Structure 1
């Protein structure tokens, strides 16, 4: 069956706001979860198998009848149906007091910039200080728009961590409105791209993502990518007119857009604007801007061939190895001194990365690398073309991409190793971000196998075993993702430590997978049914806790909680220990927990210990279909918040090289 749209997304304003959600989106998974609950018990479609689709196929003629009550809007927790404007007039040239501005700017640099280095930190910091220190400085509209977008994103973050300091729930909208007036109104919106416009558009896309406006975020991400294409930012720069440091800053702008675009592509299930075949921009170097003048770093910036040998992605390394080992050339061409030298060189490159002192730029390199693997997963398994791939070929794709993902993990330095129980607290935020993306990649990669197998003889025992074991890996990855967070919900702590702009997406991915497995009566992991149900309940409690201060989380909790209570009767699940919606309680005694935690517990506090994975008895053994295949379980990730990263003011000094003069205020 061809990939197709099952709804008219132009039928209403809300449907337009939500838009189409493709197969890689957890919203699409939630839709299929609702359909499975509605019609799975009859097993009327069990004799159909559609591997990459992730659930049993339904004849196209039955779609309208079977799915009529499961629209995309009914399964969406995003906030695109809400407005993004404020009623009163806003002065576009107004700026916050220096104290407020410093708090917001530093909050952005600490929480967002390492994962989204779309501005040159050193040069923009110099410009920022000049702007506030010398009131006569007159930067251009686009520079002011960039500054206001930074303030808007930081104001949203400050709300989530309850930072206080006079930031209220409207401030981020005010800053966004100023940026819009400065750079996106009138003729300005139709002007030709330049570097600052790319930065504004990318920051707007990130802001919409952070505020739950996913449809708008996806739209602006595409605009920013096209603007970047127009400037050739996706290509290696060979011009002598641009300094090597400026080239590196622009490469980082490109890779920021790259990671954002592919995250949004995964979240929406829509095609990405970027294909790796059009990218020749080198990966970012693993050194911070303040080190760019060091001799060894300058060599990386100046010598393309040297940089290319040292800073390569996991994918390119594996491709090179695969080419050497699978070629049909005579043995002398792929063995002997030359081949041994190449393999030794690969080892030198890997070891070289391990010798670099961990820093935000090294983290970003690994983040980009894993994003490129996720992009290949989406392209190989979730596009319209992938639907026509034979399942045996899909099996090989999953196995190959799984090897790439594990190769990426195996090359992580100890500071970022997502499997270390007690790593350095200094890099906890970066390690946690990599861990979320790692398990998200594994879930997305294995999700097509979390399905009902048909009973036709054509599907061999070997195929069923692979699908079964891979589905078990999908479920265990969802459990491990939830092991990244404490058992006791702490939304403020999570926003401080995790990728706060997309952590809800990760939680919904894992929760939906666990709900699917419970809907299948834990047939893939019957011995771990209790563990699965406990992990699912943990996710529901977290969503409920987060919902107290976040509208998107509230919608997510309502969706999942409603489904769990609907499912509980069918599978014998006890939900009496889950928080109830106010309308389900005594209307005169409504208990609504509030977030009072303002910091993480001390290192030895019990709630932050990783829960032990007990393989307990199934929920109700009579419901589960026993399977003869062994479990495929990845070693549980162990995280321990050894130390809470306190909010601090950046003390880094910028070099004279980056100090702008007044005419340079528009240069970033």
Structure 2
């Protein structure tokens, strides 16, 4: 390109072309000049450049009249053609500008219509279920709603592949024009989870004081009591909660023992158990917790214990935090050993109250607030909450674990740790500490029916142990060879108690993945609580059914992912500890009861489709089946110490009361989910009551639960004559700690 081309004006560049100009509708006889001729004309001094370009080029914007007539337009308003013809000259927007404007207007219109549609649907969802309508108007409305929902419904119906039958049922529900689309979730249970009907307080703070939510079996017991005490010929109002009926009266949890009965001012805080007792207590804690509550690393703790044995009189004041934590571990172990009848006279196992008094003397007290604790302080708070829970002090345990969660999140224990300065053992211990505290809070949330303080979405710390984990050996009996030998010899001692089978599971270890699968169930439980039991805006009953299906699919997926050594229902014989299998199986069935409790009632929806009605029945049957399976998992002929040794002793009472509450609720419904035949429940009721009776020998909470359910069964037997509960005793001996004041209060609550 020469210098002249570099300095060509923009106007002149538009006219440069080696091809002829083809104007639509205009036939030109002018031949196209060559490139050299164009160059000569452009840079000649004759001044004819503008005239030549004007005659050859096409205007970029023609007026509306010239565009319609397909004639040449000069491009300036008014154009030469319109001026010559004496016509009105008007210029419209270009095509690209018109398209942009049309697109913008269309988007605004779509947005306005979507807002109006959403507002209309909210009004319809709230109004259709309550306002009377004619069948014709209702049918037309159903058709309109179904048409607007069909694309989204089709997508969500095929999003899961876990159960073809269940997914097919959900798909059919969406295709029909039934009333389940418009009735809100209050037609099922629970209801009124977003309001407080009666004010509550802590009272004396014992047991499960304070608010009890709809997820708790205590709330289920209260609902069953209201139904059974309503006259048979009276109309039962599911949503009315009379003032005389409160969850507080049917809260069966009590402080089994006064944990403050030993004054901490009169104990030697630095006194240690003898070496044998210290070893047994330390090993007993990790054995009893089954690898679920991994607050501390087992081997590291045993190393510290061994060091304390060698220098018992050289513990300094700086060791008080570790010693306070150790005393809580020994308190939990002492409680378990005495309940399991393993505390021999040969080994001086002191009462758990003594160890807790020493912990309080060292500053670890549920009545005090700790200031900026470190990770070890968070572990101590978690252990304190667990200790209070196994004593029946549920509300106090709930408050302590809440504080532990706050401190743990402040230390970032809920996040994946990438700090190179921390050892692998420290990183794993922090992760185990977080998941142990989280699991404990979820368990307490299930008992009390209260929302958890954390969200699954906020947690990034991994649950799975690293593949090369060798130092963090918690609850696996693979620590020091010496302490393991002492513990096994202690378990094999001859005692004056009967043992059937290998309930102690001495030779088999807990699988390392036990806590991982337990934590996964905790996350599913958390999602169930947020989806069905948390205060929320009203949703349609169809949405509730979809949620039930989705969460059940998660439980099915969890069950299918279990390895053989953790699968209770596996046909493959695996030489592993049976306690882990039983613990996971019981928790799995407990969550199924919580999930399908929503449909365990009489659901009445105007114009409900037959498919939706069948889904409701199936869900109610799933709740009953889960309760029956939970009881079937338990060994026959319950004995107190064997139940404590083999089963999840820290939560066994909760599981039993869940199952019994479901059984009583089904009896209140005249066994509609069992085809009106309650005889299939009789053996399970007898077995569950037998377990409560055996636990009641050492537990005030279990005794109170047994008394409550015995009264409810008497009421139910009057409503359901076919029920045979003659083998359930009418009375039983109370535990030694049961006082006259406890009896008076119980009779007043049950009156």
TM-score (norm 1): 0.71
Closer/same/farther in 2, CA of residues 291 and 423 from structure 1, 3 Å limit: farther
| Number of the residue aligned with 1:73 | 248
Q: Summarize the alignment of residues 621-640 of structure 1 with structure 2, pairs less than 5 Å apart.
A: none
Task: Give the direction of change, closer, same or farther, for the CA distance of 1:375–1:561 in structure 2 (3 Å limit).
Answer: same
Are 1:490 and 2:639 counterparts?
yes
CA offsets 1:422-474 (integer angstroms, 9 cap, x no match): 754632011111111110111111111101122x4233322221111100010
Aligned counterpart in structure 2 of residue 367 of structure 1, from 514, 518, 523: 518
Q: CA RMSD in A?
A: 2.6
Give yes or no for contact 1:193–1:231 (8 Å, CA) kept in 2. Answer: no
Q: Does 1:161 align with 2:346?
A: no
- Please give the residue correspondences for 1:42-57 in structure 2 after superposition, counting only pairs within 5 Å: 42=233, 44-45=235-236, 56-57=238-239
User: CA 1:186 to 1:405, structure 2 compared with 1: closer, same or farther past 3 Å?
Assistant: closer
Distance 1:464 1:438 in 2: 26
Matches within 5 A, 1:26-175: 26-39=217-230, 41-42=232-233, 44-45=235-236, 56-58=238-240, 63=241, 67-80=242-255, 83-88=258-263, 89-112=266-289, 114-135=291-312, 136-138=314-316, 140-166=319-345, 171-175=351-355
TM-score (norm 2): 0.63
Contact 1:518 1:533 in 2 (8 A): no
Partner SS state of residue 352, structure 2: helix
Partner of 1:610: none
> What SS does the aligned partner of 2:636 have?
coil
CA contact (8 A) 1:148 1:178 kept: yes
Distance 1:286 1:162, change over 3 A: farther
Provide the rounded CA distance (Å) in 1 between the counterparts of 2:467 and 2:344.
33
Deviations 1:304-354, CA, capped at 9 Å, x for gaps: xxxxxxxxxxxxxxxxxxxxxxxxxxxxxxxxxxxxxxxxxxxxxxxxxxx
SS in 2 for 1:41: coil
- Residue 8 of structure 1 deviates from its aligned partner by 2.7
| 1:492-527 CA distance string (max 9 Å, x none) | 111111111111101111111011111111101126
Aligned to 2:380: 200
Q: Distance in 1 between matches of 2:235 and 2:585?
A: 39
For the Cα contact (< 8 Å) 1:122–1:289, is it kept in 2? Answer: no
Give the paired residue count.
503
SS in 2 for 1:270: coil
Other-structure match for 2:610? 461
Between the aligned partners of 1:205 and 1:291, the Cα distance in structure 2 is 26
State which structure, 1 or 2, has the greater radius of gyration over its C-alpha atoms.
2
Which 10-residue stretch deviates more, 472-481 or 177-186? 177-186
1:171 and 1:583 map into 2 onto residues whose CA distance is: 24
Structure 1 residues not aligned, in runs of 5+: 47-55, 294-356, 585-668
Q: Tell me, in whole angstroms, the C-alpha distance in 2 between the residues paired with 1:152 and 1:539.
A: 29
Q: Is residue 543–residue 554 contact of structure 1 (8 Å, CA) maintained in 2?
A: yes
Residue 90 of structure 1: CA displacement? 2.3
Distance 1:14 1:476 in 2: 36
Structure 2 counterpart of 1:239: 419
Tell me the equivalent position of 2:534.
383
Aligned equivalents of 1:123, 1:191: Cα separation in 2: 25
Instruction: Determine if contact 2:565/2:575 at 8 Å carries over to the other structure.
Output: no
Q: Distance in 1 between matches of 2:596 and 2:640?
A: 29
Q: Name the CA distance, whole Å, in 2 between partners of 1:291 and 1:141.
A: 25
- 8 Å CA contact 2:291–2:510 kept in 1: the answer is no
CA contact (8 A) 1:228 1:234 kept: yes
Structure 1 251/15 Cα, relative in aligned 2: closer, same or farther at 3 Å? closer
CA distance in 2 between partners of 1:183 and 1:427 (Å):
37
Q: Which has the higher contact order (CA 8 A, sep 6+)?
A: 1
The answer to whether structure 1 residue 398 and structure 2 residue 548 are counterparts is yes
1:532 corresponds in structure 2 to 681
How far, CA to CA, are the matches of 1:214 and 1:185 in structure 2?
A: 16
Matches within 5 A, 1:498-513: 498-513=647-662
The Cα shift of 1:291 comes to 5.9
